[in-house]
Structure 1
Amino acid sequence: DWASLPILLLLVSLFSFFAFPITNGFSRYQEHQADVYGLEVIHGLVPNSQQVAAEAFQVLGEIDLADPSPSPFIKLWLYSHPPLSERLAFALSYDPWSKGQAPEFVKQ
């Protein structure tokens, strides 16, 4: 019945609204894994790869006019990528090679 269409659309809209944090969280996880992969791929190919990656994230953040440190609520609800501050800190600190650990994705 066409009369139930507005209620159905309202329910779908509410479901989508409340699913945002879940889908965005999964997307942030995938983007973080992509950052790990990227850092592992350029390690040894690009001199000072951690600094180069951090600078690339900084440039992307400036181009996108991204808030470098959003509130936890904004991050949870709206961000499908890790915030700039987290990406910079991770890029500068990720170095399993110096600790004798194996990289997660790129095996030697």
Structure 2
Amino acid sequence: MARTIVVKLLGRRIGFNVVLNRISLLWNLRHPIQMIDLENAFFMVRFQDEDYSQALVGRPWVIYDHYLTVRPWSSEFSTNQIEVEHQVVWIRLPSLPQGNYSDCLL
């Protein structure tokens, strides 16, 4: 389970095959993945190699104008959790030059 993530598309429900095809294209996978359809529109995705890191932190993922939440699997995960408690997000500050920020400010 070390290279397993849980994904959910926010705001829209789409079928298993559509999700599998879209994330395979988005993530530009080098190796096949195993995907399992869970309850409440969650999917579990297992990776064989370094594709795991790319999918987890690569960039914000969007399918049909809806964000795909991506988080590492944990033993505390439950499909009964309707709301996402923690989510990695990207924040773009276009007027802030690269390198002109402090980690403590972020």
The structure in which a higher percent of residues are strand is 2
Shared fold (TM-score, shorter chain, > 0.5): no
The structure in which a higher percent of residues are helix is 1
With structure 2 as the length reference, what TM-score do the two structures score? Answer: 0.26
With structure 1 as the length reference, what TM-score do the two structures score? Answer: 0.26
Q: Which of structures 1 and 2 has the bigger CA Rg?
A: 1
